[in-house]
Structure 1
Amino acid sequence: MKKIILLTFLLQYGFGISQTEFPFYEQIALDFYRSKLVDSFPTKKKIKVYPYLHDFQANYFVFINPSCLGINWKNNAQFEPLKEYVESQIRIDSERFELDFSNLDKKKFKVKKRGEGNYPRLHITAPHKEIRGSERIFVNIYETHQYLYVTYHLEFDRYGQILDWCRTYDEVVLIR
């Protein structure tokens, strides 16, 4: 009798609770960069990319306020990563653990197994949303060169469609 009650409870509640499915934002951002942006803003050398998101989302690339998209906050603390999404990426069996590079142009990109590699390099932040804002989701793509940092800000809806994007860049000037 206990087994029947337990089985009924598991079937009723265990399978009835569903988790929100997210699109793979980093893969969508990479595909958009690969198909649209890299040809519009070409580089002289091959761009180094990394298959695993812990390399792709390097810790020293924090999410930057996408002010060029008309979002003007005083600081970046107004944004937070999508908590459930980021937690699901940590698991090695997650579908969002490794990026798919099957469509990359080998003349423009070089896949590195690990490490930093030479410049230019590509890094993508985890998806973020405004803390008290709409359901828009933002991802930054960083293209780092030796003395130039190009940032592409992508705006998504919750279904993974890119609504808007813009490009900013910073130059490092060495004074000797």
Structure 2
Amino acid sequence: MKKTILLIFLLKCGIGISQTEFPFYEQIAFDFYQSKLIDSFPTKKKIKVYQYVNDFQPDYFVFSNPNCLGIKWKNNEQFQPIESYVESQRKIDSERFELDFSDLDKKKFKIKKRGKGNYPRLNITAPHKEKNGTDRIFVNIHETHENIYVTYHIEFNDKGEIIDWCKEMDEIIRTY
């Protein structure tokens, strides 16, 4: 009788272990880029994209401050990746391991299996939060061309809705 009452109590109260579920920020950012940004800022060649999130987040693409959103941050150390989110992506059976390209416009994009590919190419950073604990989440989309480096900063709320975005451009100067 005690076991039955205890079981009913546990089921009724909903006591258990749960995990916070995050939206797939990179997919949302890519879909926004594909549907809105690429038409506003077209490229001459097809953009190379990579299907797996790890290809979208190579180590040399560092998260950069979204200063064009009207807020000045001192440095990149004010941001940190969402650790539990990034950790869950490292599992091959994760829902956030592979991007969905079912609606990909083949006239504008070319899917590459691995490697860096020719220019232009696209890289997306992992989602970052401000260290001061706000709900603002940021993702950078880096569009690399031969002589130009374009960064789109996309701001999300904690529900995965896009709040704002902006674009920054840097010219690549090579010295030999």
TM-score (norm 1): 0.91
Contact 1:65 1:71 in 2 (8 A): no
Q: Which residue of 2 aligns with 1:82?
A: 82
Q: Which residue of 2 aligns with 1:93?
A: 93
SS in 2 for 1:167: strand
Point out where structure 1 has 5 or more consecutive residues left out of the alignment: none
Alpha-carbon distance in 2 for matches of 1:112, 1:175? 29
Give 1:169's aligned amino acid: M
**1:20-99 superposed matches below 5 A:** 20-99=20-99
SS in 2 for 1:164: strand
Q: Does 1:112 align with 2:81?
A: no
Alpha-carbon distance in 2 for matches of 1:156, 1:95? 19
Q: Which residue of 2 aligns with 1:156?
A: 156
SS in 2 for 1:30: helix
Point out where structure 2 has 5 or more consecutive residues left out of the alignment: none
Give 4+ residue runs of structure 1 displaced > 2 Å after superposition. Answer: 173-176
Task: Give CA-to-partner distance per residue, 1:58-91, whole Å, 9 cap, x none.
Answer: 1100000101112312110000000110000000
Alpha-carbon distance in 1 for matches of 2:160, 2:20? 13
Alpha-carbon distance in 2 for matches of 1:95, 1:130? 25
SS in 2 for 1:29: helix
Give 2:50's aligned amino acid: Y
Q: Which residue of 2 aligns with 1:122?
A: 122
Task: Give CA-to-partner distance per residue, 1:81-126, whole Å, 9 cap, x none.
Answer: 0011000000000000000001110000000011111000000000
CA RMSD after TM alignment = 2.0
Q: CA shift at 1:147, angstroms?
A: 1.1
The alignment of Structure 1 onto Structure 2 pairs a total of residues equal to 170
Contact 1:68 1:167 in 2 (8 A): yes
Q: CA shift at 1:174, angstroms?
A: 3.5
Q: Equivalent pairs: percent with the same residue?
A: 71
